[in-house]
């Protein structure tokens, strides 16, 4: 678990440099993927689905 938190801190640091720090929700999504509860592809699919506007 320590490695997961280290990865999240590094990603958050890099994103913060770009002016886009991670939210707690983002960090939790990363934790879920890194513990293999869901794949990154599946998480990406869910996020795209969530943020896609039906016309």
Number of domains in the chain: 1
How much is the pLDDT for 25? 96
Q: How confident is the model at residue 1 (pLDDT cuts 50, 70, 90)?
A: low
Cα angle: 36, vertex 4, 9; to 5 degrees: 135
Q: What is the pLDDT of residue 5?
A: 96
Task: List, for residues 5-54, the tens digit of each pLDDT value.
Answer: 999 999 999 999 999 999 999 999 999 999 999 999 999 999 999 999 87
Domain ranges, residue 24: 2-51
55 compared with 16, residue with greater pLDDT: 16
pLDDT at position 2: 87
* 3-state secondary structure at position 21: coil
What is the gyration radius of the CA atoms in the chain, in angstroms? 13
């Amino acid at each position: 678990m320590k490695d997961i938190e280290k990865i999240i801190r590094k990603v958050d640091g890099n994103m913060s440099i770009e002016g886009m720090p991670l939210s707690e929700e983002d960090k939790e999504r990363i934790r879920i993927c890194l513990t293999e509860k869901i794949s990154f592809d599946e998480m990406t699919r869910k996020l795209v689905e969530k943020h896609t506007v039906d016309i």
